[in-house]
Amino acid sequence: MEIDFIIALQSSGQRLDFIVSQAVSDCSRSRAAALIDQGNIQVSGHQKRPGYRVKTGDRITGKVSFPKQNPPVTSAPLPVRVVHEDAHIIVLDKPSGLVVHPAAGNRSNTLVNRLIHHFPDLMHIGEDLTRPGIVHRLDKDTSGLILVARTVSSLHFLQKEFKFHRVEKIYQALVSGADISDSGQIEQPIGRHPKHRKRMSVNHDIGRPARTSWQVIQRFERACLVSVRLYTGRTHQIRVHFYDLGHPLLGDRVYQFRRNRRKQQTYPRQMLHAWQIGFRHPYSGQKMRFAVEPPLDFLSAVANESEAAPGARTSLR
């Protein structure tokens, strides 16, 4: 359906996502925010953020669509790498190449399909049945730690911990170029790319705040192994931030210098690994921390870069 209305005086100052959810029947705030983020809702011909405070006279236009009901998720009798499990949470080591949850084009070969085979009690944890227990995600080709809630109360607790940036997430990455500073911080807003809708970009108009810091572990002749901490959790955040910094991740085919996008990449995926995660246990409140070493392809890439830089020493501890 299409919407087209003018903001009246009494509605001035309210959030855009709230206004849209009130104007469209059966449209939740989260659905309204998603439509705004996707550019389907505009304010006087301009894209805004869901939290934009509307003004008297603003014209709200756009198209509102509702997703089709997803079919039930099927289980897949394939292995999962469990790092820790108890009655409230599961911590997994996700391999690269595995999508976290079902979506169009991939309904059966995902981490969620495997999870519900091994942990059928997850099936009804959360409102979205395609993401039962899922608190956060990793890109398909990113390996490493992912946290899953096993009860509804754990899910709500951990969602708030992530929302307020109280979960510590540390990655390892191989970034191109040897001239990056020993340590640093990137604070650049991330939003949809203005032309390529499947990509993200540093976007000062509609982007949401994003903060990343890094520390060099080892320098090589043409790359650096870095430890990366995420303070926010925007889509593709590490990949976008290092690309914008001029040091795209090795193996990344999307966030890559234009001159290199069509070249044969040395590595089969972006060299990014979710190395450590620290959080409060949703039941006991105890501080927990887990770490997993990178997989073989990542270690091989480090070894390859080390061989290209005689005398370099690498520490992954």
Q: Are residues 45 and 150 in the same domain?
A: no
Q: Which has the higher per-residue pLDDT, 157 or 313?
A: 157
Give the count of domains, the chain. Answer: 3
**Residue where a domain stops, chosen among 163, 184, 213:** 163
Q: Are residues 122 and 206 in the same domain?
A: no
Q: Are residues 121 and 25 in the same domain?
A: no
Q: Which domain holds residue 243?
A: 168-307
Q: Are residues 303 and 172 in the same domain?
A: yes
Q: What CATH number does the domain containing 117 carry?
A: 3.30.2350.10
Which residue, among 60, 67, 4, 71, has the nearest Cα to 36 in the 3D structure? 60
- Angle CA 148–152–158, to nearest 5: 50
Q: Distance (Å, rounded) from C-alpha 115 to C-alpha 224? A: 35
| Dihedral over Cα of 34, 40, 45, 46: its sign | positive
Q: What are the pLDDT digits (tens) for 157-168?
A: 999 999 899 999
Active site residue 139: yes
Q: Are residues 206 and 228 in the same domain?
A: yes
Point out the catalytic residue in the list 17, 37, 93, 139.
139
Q: What are the pLDDT digits (tens) for 169-226?
A: 999 999 999 999 999 999 999 998 888 878 999 999 888 999 999 999 999 999 999 9
68 in a structural domain? no
Q: What are the pLDDT digits (tens) for 114-141?
A: 999 999 999 889 878 888 999 999 999 9
Q: Are residues 173 and 281 in the same domain?
A: yes
Q: Are 32 and 21 in contact (CB under 8 A)?
A: yes
**Which tokens belong to 273?**
């690994």
265 in a structural domain? yes
71 in a structural domain? no
For residue 145, the one-letter residue type is L
Owner of token pair 């505009």: 42
3-state class (DSSP) for residue 54: coil
